[in-house]
Amino acid sequence: MRVTAILLITMTLPLAAQWLDHKEAGTPRGKDGKANLTAPAPRMNGKPDLSGVWQAERTPDSEFRQALGEEFASQQVDLNDATKYNISVFWGLKPGEEPLRPEAVAVMKQYRNQVAPTSRCLPASLPSSLFFYTFKIIQAPRETVMLAGVGDPPRQIYTDGRSLPEDPQPAWMGYSVGKWEGDTFVVDTSGFNDTAWLDQMGHPRSESMRIEERYHRRDFGHMDLEIRFDDPKYYTRPFSIKAVLNLQPDSDVLEFVCNENERDRTHLAKQ
């Protein structure tokens, strides 16, 4: 099954590392010393501070099995590495309900004969890198930085009031600006290349795709995330997904150098 091969590729987790159990000062704790995940969200300069290591809620085994069949569970794949949105941004929709234009269907047909960019150590990009492993948000005064645990290039989300670039050099992670709507952090991203796949199904994106992410840290340990996609070249209407991000307290993202373990390329190169 195609999906299985994909998950296997993502499974080269680093073995062990430091600062995965460093007790962060400033984390509210219960009497037992554990992080109090339902404490109020921290604030900085009058706005929520989103800084922390986050992991998108994992998909229950039963949901994978229901969609992909019973044999899926017998594969030795760690389903906790990724979520259902890595497999499809349209997870949960019936086949006919996906707002695909014929152009999207045609591109997916081409992709069927290719390996996913991530299997050649290219970026997972958006939204995938938010749903693999964990990622870290670091809120600085003029920008918010996102470091993806899966080794994607860092994202710089400018919060200094600038607007999106008009004719950017297409990039895997795009160009991002963020602003606050009340306590919700709204990130607009454009300037994507059309090389990345939105998910392992190979849903495409064009250079005109825009993505809006809405982050609402509802308490210390939880953030509601909604992602809206708009790409009229490939999709008949905007669409969106929602997920909950769980804080990984006293943890960190690790250096991830995909090429370090790269042994497949000479074989894949012929494709």
Partner 1 sequence: MKWITILLAASSVPAGAQWLNYRETGTPRTKDGKPNLSAPAPRVKGRPDLSGVWEAERTPLIEYTRAFGEDVAKLQVDLNDATKYVQSVFWGVKPEDQPLRPEALAAMKRSSGTPVPSSRCLPMGVPGGLFVYTFKMIQAPREIIVLPGGGDPPRQIYTDGRGLPEDPQPAWMGYSVGKWEGDTLVVETTGFTEASWLDGARHPRSEQMRVEERYRRRDFGHIDLEVNFNDPKYYTRQFGFRTVLNLVADSDVLEFVCNENEKDQAHTAKH
Q: What minimum distance in Å lies between the beta carbon of 260 and partner 1? A: 7
Q: What minimum distance in Å lies between the beta carbon of 40 and partner 1? A: 18
Residues 209-238 that bind partner 1 (CB under 8 A): none
With CB under 8 A as the contact rule, the residue among 151, 202, 221, 249 that binds partner 1 is 151
Q: What minimum distance in Å lies between the beta carbon of 158 and partner 1? A: 8
**Cα angle 45-49-50, degrees, rounded to a multiple of 5:** 155
- Give residues with Cβ within 8 angstroms of 47, minimum separation 6: 180, 183, 185
CA nearest to 89, candidates 191, 245, 240, 243: 240
Q: What minimum distance in Å lies between the beta carbon of 206 and partner 1? A: 18
**Contact range with partner 1 by CB under 8 A, out of 91-99, 101-109, 213-221, 251-259:** 251-259
- Count of residues engaged in binding partner 1, rule: CB under 8 A: 53
CA nearest to 132, candidates 112, 114, 146, 115: 146
Q: What minimum distance in Å lies between the beta carbon of 111 and partner 1? A: 17
Residues 2-21 that bind partner 1 (CB under 8 A): 14-19
| Contact string 24-53 vs partner 1 (x = CB under 8 A) | xxx-----------------x------x--
CA gap 241, 92 in Å, rounded: 10
With CB under 8 A as the contact rule, the residue among 58, 65, 101, 120 that binds partner 1 is 120
- Beta bridge partners, 15, equal none
- Pick 162 or 179: Cβ nearer partner 1: 162
CA gap 18, 36 in Å, rounded: 22
Residues 72-111 that bind partner 1 (CB under 8 A): none
With CB under 8 A as the contact rule, the residue among 99, 121, 184, 212 that binds partner 1 is 121
Ramachandran region of residue 223, left (φ > 0), alpha (ψ -120 to 50) or beta?
A: beta
With CB under 8 A as the contact rule, the residue among 22, 34, 112, 179 that binds partner 1 is 22
Residue 257 interacting with partner 1 (CB under 8 A): yes
| Residues contributing to the site for partner 1 (CB under 8 A) | 14-19, 22, 24-26, 44, 51, 120-123, 138-143, 145, 147, 151, 153-154, 156, 160-162, 165-169, 171-173, 175, 191, 195, 252, 254-260, 265-266, 269
